[in-house]
Structure 1
């Protein structure tokens, strides 16, 4: 593990070798940087191995049971969440939260919230919010919307989550967080609110914040949330991890998830699997899936079948455009 890794930003050549050496010697910050950079390069197994050195007692590291490794414990929990291993993530997130780290309390509380355990989530989210964690503030606001008469208090926490600080980074700033009225919050529910926050952040260019909100929503198992988290991961170049979420959404019968999984598999050269999922999505009437399935058939010499699907896609596209224009005229 002591050499640099070509092609991984921040871990190449001499710089990478020095960082690896520092991490191996027990430098908590170096370990964090190595793991984060590997994860961002979608080398999740290697990232996990490094985080376990800082998080698991007896893993052969120089860290052991100290307050300094709380961040490694949380990051390992988050990596396990990202790779659809929520049950394995839970003890790490709980351990990090029990150490008093505000960000860990926010993530753990939010996971409890979206998995239907609001009563357990409340003390963790309240402590995270009071400890200054902005994601925790936002999730605490979401939780408060579920209690009668707490709407204004919920919006106050959302306003606090939106506040910027002079030392903000791309990773820490959430951007403006929408503050829905009580009726809208009730209709959306916790997962819908988190997806609203993510969509709003994405529209403003805060892609990291959008991914953080979507990561939490995806833990609920909601197909739309899982698919959107896959899209976010794919946008960061983490195609292998994104495929896990597309597959999960696809298995629920979600057309968007099936389509996106087909595209990722096609890009990975797994043509037979890609064809299966594009076909499944196309059969639901998904316009882009019909088009892409037609192109796949065309590329493998099945012209007659390809023309059928391409015609269907074109017809559906024209109808969708016409419906949209009519809606605009009537609006």
Structure 2
């Protein structure tokens, strides 16, 4: 079967899929380099690094990990098995290089893989209120399995644990918005001045009624206020360690579980304020029995929402 990197159309299809991944504030902090039409490199884009909110580069690498999973999946549905190397294994000394992927021969693609690939274009970050209907246990088990397939864990919170985490999220958001540098960085990516990245007003969702609502408040006072679901369903994505390799793994696990959720009709958004605050304060995460928390995800059944803007493929490709 023809290597998709051998043609412009094949390469474009791969980069389009990778570039559709979710990222922190939709910064899309990635670039790609095709080497000798044999393999493709994933690079971080330092110009899109949130240096105030993400001084360790954790969120940047999680974002790039999500793009890496989409790239792997796109290669898989092209009839190839993606062989992936992480940056330490590549060892070319590039400070931005995170991973490389080479297509090799593979068995036929499964229906489940085709379904996940189709979900790449329909997945959205949904900041609208969700229905109060609970996510079935069987679906939660599927999401847990999806995270585990990428070397991560998934902790589902219930009852008092949800309330306690919502209080922590609200307190963290208050602390974050009190930081001038953080506010300036957030405004840059949420002002709606760009047509190809960021979180413009039309995807920010309404402002919440109440102090413990399960949605990030981008502090835009003109947005409508509505009441969100009474019983939010929150899960925490974890990894065994808390270093750059773990963050890249977390991004791949996150995207796999988000695509599975999309296939099952679920919506998702993120509530990472406590993790952002921890990173800004340069605190290391203590070892937890369930692993190190990397993402806080809200799940549920939400309305249809528009897609956030995307960078064009030529912007994402760098000359080898």
Short-chain TM bin: under 0.3
Bigger RCO (CA 8 Å, 6+ sep): 2
Quick check: which one's helix share is greater?
Answer: 1
Report the TM-score when normalising by structure 1: 0.26
Query: Which protein is bigger by CA-based radius of gyration?
Result: 1
Report the TM-score when normalising by structure 2: 0.27
Quick check: which one's strand share is greater?
Answer: 2
